[in-house]
């Protein structure tokens, strides 16, 4: 039989030793980006999709060309970019279409150039991602570029802020403006400085 006090002593000494080791060497490990084969495959898949945006290969063919299975490619791509390849491709097409619209291409031409089947297909995804249809985006960009400066936001928020600032400046310059005419009564709803939606 072993002495119970000796067992307690050994137990206590072990706890003290482990505690000292943890204090000296313990702590959280720094986070490191792990470059696995999956990350390399995802990066190669992204490169292929960027190069062949207008005519991308099907998932099965892309996986075969990269030497992996479709399931492994989907998992690796989602891990690396937070979305499956099809979703990433749609977002990349919309980004490229924005650049084409900024350079003066017509929405129908931009749609075909980036790989959408037609302009309504581009309209649906462009409106979902950017917030306005491609034609309205292009008109707004052109109007602002012809005006005072570059467009910061592709939405009515920017225009509404500009109208509000212009109205405030006029009010300060001409404080005796008739009170019967309010900004809401001065014209169309687009003339109001703040849209009802915020």
The 10s digit of each residue's pLDDT in 80-126 is 999 999 999 999 999 999 999 999 999 999 999 999 999 999 999 99
- The pTM of the full predicted model, rounded to 2 decimals, is 0.56
Sequence-ordered list of residues with C-beta below 8 angstroms from that of 26, at least 6 positions apart, any chain: none
Rounded CA gap, 112 and 116, in Å?
Answer: 5
Sequence-ordered list of residues with C-beta below 8 angstroms from that of 156, at least 6 positions apart, any chain: 195
The 10s digit of each residue's pLDDT in 32-67 is 555 677 899 999 999 999 999 999 999 999 999 999
DSSP H stretches of helix in 147-188? 156-173
CA distances (Å), origin 49, targets 89, 93, 95, 129: 7, 10, 14, 19
Residue 24 has which token pair? 């000296």
> What was the pLDDT predicted at 191?
43
Residue 185 has which token pair? 């009564």
> What was the pLDDT predicted at 185?
40
The 10s digit of each residue's pLDDT in 133-153 is 999 998 888 776 665 554 444
Q: Confirm if 61 and 55 have CB atoms less than 8 A apart.
A: no
């Amino acid at each position: 039989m072993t002495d119970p006090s000796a067992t307690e002593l050994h137990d206590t000494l072990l706890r003290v030793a482990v505690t000292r080791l943890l204090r000296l060497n313990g702590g959280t490990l720094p986070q490191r980006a792990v470059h696995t084969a999956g990350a390399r495959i995802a990066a190669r898949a992204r490169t292929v999709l960027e190069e062949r945006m207008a005519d991308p290969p099907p998932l099965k063919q892309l996986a075969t060309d990269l030497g992996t299975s479709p399931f492994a490619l989907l998992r690796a791509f989602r891990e690396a970019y937070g979305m499956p390849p099809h979703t990433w491709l749609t977002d990349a097409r919309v980004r490229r279409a924005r650049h084409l619209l900024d350079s003066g291409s017509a929405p129908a031409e931009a749609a075909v150039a980036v790989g959408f089947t037609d302009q309504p297909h581009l309209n649906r995804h462009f409106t979902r991602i950017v917030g306005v249809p491609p034609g309205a985006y292009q008109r707004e960009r052109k109007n602002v570029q012809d005006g005072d400066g570059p467009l910061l936001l592709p939405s009515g928020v920017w225009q509404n802020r500009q109208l509000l600032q212009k109205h405030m400046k006029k009010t300060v310059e001409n404080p005796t403006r008739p009170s019967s005419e309010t900004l809401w009564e001065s014209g169309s709803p687009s003339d109001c400085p703040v849209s009802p939606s915020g």
